[in-house]
A and B are shown apart, each in its own frame.
Chain A
Amino acid sequence: MKRVALIGMPNVGKSTLFNRLTGSHVKAGNWPGITVDLYSAKLLLGADIVELVDLPGVYDLRGHTEDQAVVSTFIARNRVDLMLVVINASQIERQLRLVSSLAPLGVPLVLILNMADEAAALGIRIECEKLSSRMGMPVCMVSAKRGHGLEQLRTLIRTSLQEPLQPPRADIDERALDAAAHACVFVPAQATHAQTEKLDRVLLHPWLGLPIFFGVMFLLFEAIFWVGKPIQDAMSWFFDTLRNVALVPLASGLPEMVRGLLFDGLYSGLATVASFVPLIILFFLCMALVEDTGYLSRAAFLMDALMSKFGMDGRSFVMILMGFGCNVPALMGTRVMRSRGLRLLTMLVIPLSLCSARLQVFLFFIAALFPTRTAPLVLFSLYLMSIAAAMLTSLVFKRRFSNNDALVLEMPPYRLPTLSQVILRGWHEVMHFLRRATRFIVAGVVLVWVLTHFPIGAAPASAQTWAGQLGAFLNPVLSPLGIDPQLTIALIFGFVAKEIVIGSLAVIYARDGGALLSALADHINWIQAYSFMLFTLIYTPCLSTIATIRTEAKNRAYTVFAVVWPLALAWVVSFVFYQTAISI
C-alpha cells in the first residue's frame, strides 16, 4: 500500500484537511502544535487504498524540538511515496521555505494551498499554474474547512501515485523559492483581517483583556451547569428506574453474591459515572469551541508577562489550560518547547490542572453537599485552587528548571469553526474519555466490590473487610484532613484513575444516583467534602498521567519527584484548610 504524508507548519489546517479526506476523528485545533501523536487512516482513491499520515506541524527540519525529531524520525524510518505540503494560502512567501527543508529527502511533493477562502477574502491573487511550473510540482488550492477543492485534490493524489512524480531538485534554495512566490503571488498592500483587528482591540485590551478572558471562562462554566444539570438529573432518574423496574426483577433468580456484584458493583458504578457524561460532553464542546477560534493564543499573549514571573511562558499557560480537559495530551503538547528546563517545569505543573475526570468527582460532591446556587462558585474556587497550586509549584521550582527558550508564537486570525468541526472535535474527546473511563471503571469497581465484600462473612464495606483494614491502616495519615476510612478507600482507587472514585463510593455505600448523594451528605459535612476535593485536586491525577510523564521526560527520578511533590502538597493544603475551617 502506498503511503502519503501530510506535512506543514503548525496551524495551517492540516488536521482539518486530514479529517476531510479520511472522515476519521482526529484532533484539529486552531493552535500551533496541537497534533502531537501521529494519526493515520486508510483513504480510498478510486480503486486504490492509500495510507494517509498526519505529521506534527514543524517550521523546518533543522531545529531541535521534539516535534521536529518526530517528523525527521518518521521520514527516516518509514517509506513515504508522496508528501502533501500544506501551506496557508495567505502566507505563501514565508511558508514556502519549508520546501527547501523537504527537497533533499528525495520524495515527490505536492503543494496544497489551504484556506483559499481566507486568501481570497484578503484580496490575495495566486497564479497556480505558473507557481506549479516554477516549483516543478503540482499545486492545488483547497479550503479544508469549507470542503472546497477536495475532489480535485483526491484526483491529484491518485494520479501522482499512479504515474510517480519526479522529486523536486535537491538544491532548490530559499532564494529560488522567494522568487517563485514573488512572481506568482500578489498580496495587496493592506491585506489585514479587519474583523480580527477589531476583536483584538477588545480582547487584547491592556486592562480589559485578562478580566474578559476569565469572565468568558466563568460564563462557560455557568452555562455548562445551567444546561447540563437538568440533563444529568434526568439521566440519574432513568438509571434508577431502569434498575428497579426492569433489571432487579429480571435477575431475581441469580445467587445473591452474583446479584451483589452486578448491581452494587458494576451497575451502581457505571450508572453513576454515566449520569455525568452529559456534563463532560458539554465541557468538551465548549473547550473545542474556545480552542478552534484562536482565542487560546491570545490567552498566551495576555498571560506571558505573568507566566514569566513563574519561570514559564504563555505556551505553558495554554498547555495548563488544555490540561483542564485531560492532562495526557497537554503533557505531550509540551514537545514544541525547545528548553528542557521549561518543558520539565511545565510538565510538573500540568498535572495540577483540574481535568475532566476530577471535574466529574467534584460535580458529584458539590451536588451532594452544596446548594445549586453556590455550586458554580464552589467549582470555580476549585479551578482557582488548581491555578494557585500550579503557581506555587512553579515558584518553588523555577530556579531548579530554568528556561532559556524564546517565545515565538503565531496569533492566527479568529476563525469561527463550523458546527461539524466543533461536534467532531468534542465527540473525539468524549469517545477518548469514555474508552479510557469504561476500561478503568469496570476493572476498578469490580476490585472495589471485592475489597469491600471480602473476606466472606464480613459486613459489606465494614471495618472487617479488606478495604476497611486498608482504610484503617491509612487513617492516621488522612484523618487530620477530615477524610474518613470510606473516603480513604476512594482516594486509593483514585490513584489509578479519578474515573473510579465515584463508582467506588457507589460500591462502598451500596447505593447509586440520588440515594448515594444523600448517603454522602449524611456521612460527611461540607468541610470534609471540600478537604477531600482539595486532596483529590492536587494529588496524582492518574496512572496514565504518570506513564506519560515517564515517557516524555525519559527520566525515572523526575517521574518519582512528579508523584511525590503533588502528594505532599495535597496533604499540606487539605490539612491547613480542614484544621482552619473546623477551628473557626
Chain B
Amino acid sequence: MRTLDSLTTGERAIIRTLEVSEDLAYCLSAFGFRIGKTVQLIRRARFAGPLHIRIDTTDLMLRACDARCIEVQRQPA
C-alpha cells in the first residue's frame, strides 16, 4: 500500500489507514482525514517542505513525515 507522501502532484487517492498518535488522529479527523475519504496532492513546497493537500473543500498543509503515516490507495480513474 502506498503512503500519502508518495502521491504525485495532482494525483487523487483514498485514505485506507491512519497510523498516528491519538492526539494527531483527533486533529486530522477535524480536518477531514477519515478512512474512505478522497485526498488530492496539490503541490509540494521546495526543499522537502510540506505538502499542500485538498480534502473536499478544505486545503491544508501537512509535513511529508506525517503524511508517511497515512496509507492510501490510488483512486480508480
Which A residues are closer than 8 A to B by beta carbons? 9, 59-60, 62-64, 90-91, 93-95, 97-98, 122, 124, 187, 191-192, 196, 200, 204, 206-207, 209, 297, 300-302, 304-306, 308, 313-314, 338, 406-413
Contacts and interface: CB of A to CB of B under 8 A. Distances in A.
A258 to B, nearest CB: 61
B50 to A, nearest CB: 5
Contacts of A206: 43, 45-46
B61 A94 contact: no
Contact of B50 (A98, A314, A338): A314
B66 A304 contact: no
Contacts of A95: 30
B57 A91 contact: yes
A91 B62 contact: no
| Interface magnitude class on chain B | 20 to 34
B47 A306 contact: yes
B15 to A, nearest CB: 13
Contacts of B29: 60, 97
Contacts of B57: 90-91, 122, 124, 187, 191-192
A317 B24 CA distance: 21
B48 interface: yes
A314 B47 contact: no
Given A60-B30, A408-B62, A305 B56 contact: no
Overall SS of chain B's interface:
mixed
A95 B30 CA distance: 7
Nearest to B21: A406
B45 A301 contact: yes
Interface of B: 20, 23-24, 26-32, 42-43, 45-50, 52, 54-63, 66
Contact of A300 (B32, B47, B61): B61
Contacts of A313: 63
A306 B59 CA distance: 21
A90 B58 CA distance: 8
A51 B28 CA distance: 33
13 contacts: A9-B30, A64-B23, A90-B57, A97-B29, A122-B57, A191-B56, A200-B52, A204-B52, A304-B50, A305-B45, A408-B24, A410-B58, A410-B60
A94 B63 contact: no
B50 A59 contact: no
Contacts of B61: 297, 300-301, 304, 314, 407-409, 411
A191 B59 CA distance: 12
Given A305-B47, A407-B50, 18 more contacts: A59-B30, A62-B26, A63-B26, A90-B57, A94-B31, A94-B32, A97-B30, A192-B54, A204-B43, A206-B43, A297-B61, A301-B50, A304-B49, A314-B50, A314-B61, A408-B60, A411-B52, A413-B59
Contacts of B20: 406
8 tightest A-B contacts by CB?
A305-B49, A59-B30, A94-B32, A305-B47, A411-B59, A406-B66, A90-B57, A304-B50
B52 A304 contact: no
A409 B27 contact: no
B45 A302 contact: yes
B55 to A, nearest CB: 8
Contacts of B50: 301, 304-305, 314, 407
Contacts of B43: 200, 204, 206
A95 B62 CA distance: 19
Contacts of A204: 43, 45, 52
Nearest to A98: B30
Given A408-B66, A410-B60, A305 B30 contact: no
B58 to A, nearest CB: 5
A433 to B, nearest CB: 32
Contact of A187 (B30, B31, B46, B56): B56
